[in-house]
């Protein structure tokens, strides 16, 4: 086991800002194993492992609240893995909902983009008309005049 490291060194090794680690400490994701006489935080290998866990979980879309819940479950080996699976299935459902939303957005943008010739006056732009909720581009309200400085 290597020696304890300061927050600065741990932050550098993890590729994070020290303030991020302080925030993680405030919300209970990591904790120093001790403080020096000068009140510097010292972290051990467990903190490094937790940071790797946090980063991997975030890369998979878990929020910090979900990461905290997963870490809490993981800290008790006697816990049943059903809770972990339930959290993961909830994340999958969230992702599937986001994908469906993105597909709807893409479809709507394709539709309005296909109606736009891509040249001519913006007064006849079907994209702008669609964004304004107007039937025709000429139904758009006029653009506000630029303010003098």
| Predicted confidence pLDDT, tens digits, the chain (149 residues) | 467 899 999 999 999 999 999 999 999 999 989 888 888 889 999 999 999 999 999 999 999 999 999 999 999 999 999 999 999 999 999 999 999 999 999 999 999 999 999 999 998 898 998 888 865 555 545 555 544 44
The answer regarding whether domain 5-60 maps to CATH 3.40.50.12780 reads no
Sheet holding 5-6, edge to edge: 5-6, 41-43, 34-35
Q: Torsion over CA of 110, 116, 117 and 118, rounded to 10 degrees?
A: -90
Q: Is the entire prediction scored with pTM above 0.75? A: no
CB 129 within 8 A of CB 140: yes
| Residue 146, pLDDT score | 47
CA 132, CA 141: separation in Å to the nearest integer? 8
């Amino acid at each position: 086991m290597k020696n304890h490291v300061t927050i600065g060194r741990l932050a550098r090794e993890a590729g994070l800002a020290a303030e991020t680690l302080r925030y993680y400490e405030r919300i209970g994701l990591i904790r120093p194993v001790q403080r020096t006489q000068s009140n510097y935080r010292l972290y051990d290998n467990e903190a490094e492992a937790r940071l790797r866990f946090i980063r991997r979980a975030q890369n998979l879309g878990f929020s910090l609240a979900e990461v905290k819940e997963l870490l809490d479950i993981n800290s008790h080996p006697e816990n049943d893995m059903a809770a972990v699976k339930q959290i993961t299935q909830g994340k999958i459902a969230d992702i599937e909902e986001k994908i469906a939303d993105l597909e709807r957005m893409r479809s709507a943008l394709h539709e309005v983009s296909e109606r736009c010739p891509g040249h001519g006056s913006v007064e006849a732009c079907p994209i702008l008309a669609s964004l304004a909720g107007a039937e025709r581009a000429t139904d758009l309200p006029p653009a506000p005049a630029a303010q003098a400085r």
